[in-house]
Amino acid sequence: MLRRFQNYIDGVFEDGSASFESVNPASGASWAIMPAASEADVDRAIRAAHRAFSAPSWADLTASQRGKLLYKLADLVEQQAPRLAELETADTGKIIRETHSQISYVAEYYRYYAGLADKIQGAHLPADKADMEVYLRREPIGVVAGIVPWNSQLFLSAVKIGPALAAGCTIVIKASEEGPAPLLEFARLVHEAGFPPGVVNIITGFGADCGRALTSHPLVSRIAFTGGPETARHIVRNSAENLAYTTLELGGKSPVLVFDDVDVDSVANAIVAGIFAATGQSCVAGSRLLVQRGVRDRLLEKLVAKAKGIRIGNPQDEATEMGPLATKRQLEHINNVVARSIKAGATVLTGGQQPDGFGAGFYYQPTILSCPDHQVPSVMEELFGPVLSVVTFDTETEAIALANSTEYGLASGVFTRDLTRAHRLIRALRAGIVWVNTYRAVSPMVPFGGYKQSGLGREGGMESVLDYTRTKSVWIRTSDEPIQDPFVMR
């Protein structure tokens, strides 16, 4: 008996116009039935959000009252983290201890935005008119269309839903059709928290019927997207229909630069966490290891040993350290890129194939490839899987050139004990995030986003709330004198 999930539109849980089966990546078998929203379903969701935006039940709330609703939602997320984590693991294959930890931390994002709700301020402007008082108001931008991928979806939706609601917007958020269970279940927490109907709508469906309709709808004022660059280009074209303000958080091919003055054991732990956590299915995965020649052999020896020791298994088992890939398509893509990389001269130091004993599950071994240069396919292409490509450098100048020789620019890591070198690299690296002697650290207070093909705009941090507002200039004439006749010259 397959579990059935529903869309959440205008405060009501309902089936989609169609449905599809969702596959458990650990077994390769269907485990749930998901709603597929049609264009008509999307239209109803957006119109519900549009009505709610102006309805007194939402529009007349004070900023502090909006914040209290977000605080309640945060508490519910924290309380229900085990249940949400179990669903995310079943639908995406991410290991249970990672989903539980991450979802528990998502509650802190909602608390952060709850606290910002009544911190959105306008400004008094010292205009050059003696008889005028001028000030700026910040008002919510309107209906938001949010789209998130399957990986880390409750986190990626929190950095859209949280600031949107704190600012007073309403939102329709589309969960990926590949693993939407936790976000559809999260809708029940929104309902329980007491948000008025239509303020938050959560749906899933496919690109042509659901995604296109959502991002081109005339009532949408703001689009917040996380996903791949190709889909982002479609969204940008769609937004020409409504001229919606758009932010895009896209892919990455993040370099990790390791110099020969490091603590090898410490760096090895950071690199393993950066590429093999979440089975490498993270937009900030440190998939390009650029290592200075003097430390290369010692570091690779440690990394190969750690990769071989990773415990692959059932993602619902607390002992498992790496689970399956999320989709069969992703598995096929990685097999293809690794094969092309070997043909281009890469050497497999460990992994490079599917492990035995997992039946039809979408598992892939932790893989390390030693690459002769940065032209090898695995070095240049985003794999979104547990594959680390290693390139050797000799000088700092060479390392910077290698790090920047990609169309992406989301994240980067630098490992060195030389503080002056670290500061030079921080300035030189063309990436939206630079981690120094650490990797994959996140916080609600810190914005993130990329350069180049890794996106437009930033999410997270205080300023992200302002991205869900627009300014209104207000002029007040303070003189009691009659306004001059415009046709009488003096």
Secondary structure percentages of the chain, helix, strand, coil, to 5: 40, 25, 35
Q: Are 279 and 386 part of one and the same domain?
A: yes
Q: Are 123 and 208 part of one and the same domain?
A: yes
Q: Are 56 and 100 part of one and the same domain?
A: yes
- Cα torsion 214, 216, 219, 222 to 10°: value is 80
Q: Are 222 and 235 part of one and the same domain?
A: yes
Question: CB–CB of 189/200 below 8 Å?
Answer: no
Q: Identify the helix (H) or strand (E) that includes residue 232.
A: helix 229-238
CB half-sphere exposure, 25, CA atoms < 13 A: 30
User: Is 125 within the bounds of a domain?
Assistant: yes
Q: Are 196 and 327 part of one and the same domain?
A: no
User: Is 487 within the bounds of a domain?
Assistant: no
* Domain CATH number, residue 61: 3.40.605.10
Q: Are 130 and 79 part of one and the same domain?
A: yes
Structure tokens at 5: 């999930």
Question: CB–CB of 307/368 below 8 Å?
Answer: yes
Q: Tens digit of pLDDT for each residue in 275-308?
A: 999 999 999 999 999 999 999 999 999 999 999 9
pTM for the full model? 0.95
Q: Tens digit of pLDDT for each residue in 338-359?
A: 999 999 999 999 999 999 999 9
Q: Are 72 and 164 part of one and the same domain?
A: yes
User: Is 441 within the bounds of a domain?
Assistant: no
Q: Are 362 and 458 part of one and the same domain?
A: no
* Residue 82, number of CB atoms within 10 A of its CB: 13
* Domain CATH number, residue 276: 3.40.309.10
Q: Are 91 and 212 part of one and the same domain?
A: yes
Q: Are 126 and 200 part of one and the same domain?
A: yes
State the angle between helix axes of 419-428 and 396-404 in degrees (0 to 180), rounded to the nearest 10.
30
User: Is 188 within the bounds of a domain?
Assistant: yes
Q: Tens digit of pLDDT for each residue in 159-196?
A: 999 999 999 999 999 999 999 999 999 999 999 999 99
Tell me the catalytic residues. Answer: 249
Quickly state the pLDDT bin for 413 (edges 50, 70, 90): very high
Domains: count for the chain = 2
DSSP class of residue 281? -
pLDDT for the residue numbered 4: 97
DSSP 202-220: EEE--IIIIIHHHHH-TTE
The domain of 59 spans: 3-250+450-474
pLDDT for the residue numbered 74: 98
Task: Tell me which residue has tokens 């890794």.
Answer: 454
Q: Are 430 and 458 part of one and the same domain?
A: no
pLDDT, averaged across the chain: 96
User: Is 480 within the bounds of a domain?
Assistant: no
User: Is 306 within the bounds of a domain?
Assistant: yes
Asked if the model's pLDDT at residue 490 lies above 80, the reply is no
Q: Are 228 and 272 part of one and the same domain?
A: no
Asked if the model's pLDDT at residue 207 lies above 90, the reply is no
Residue 339 CA to residue 387 CA, distance in Å, equals 12
* Angle in degrees, CA 258, 351, 317, rounded to 5: 100
User: Is 482 within the bounds of a domain?
Assistant: no
Residue 179 CA to residue 153 CA, distance in Å, equals 9
User: Is 267 within the bounds of a domain?
Assistant: yes
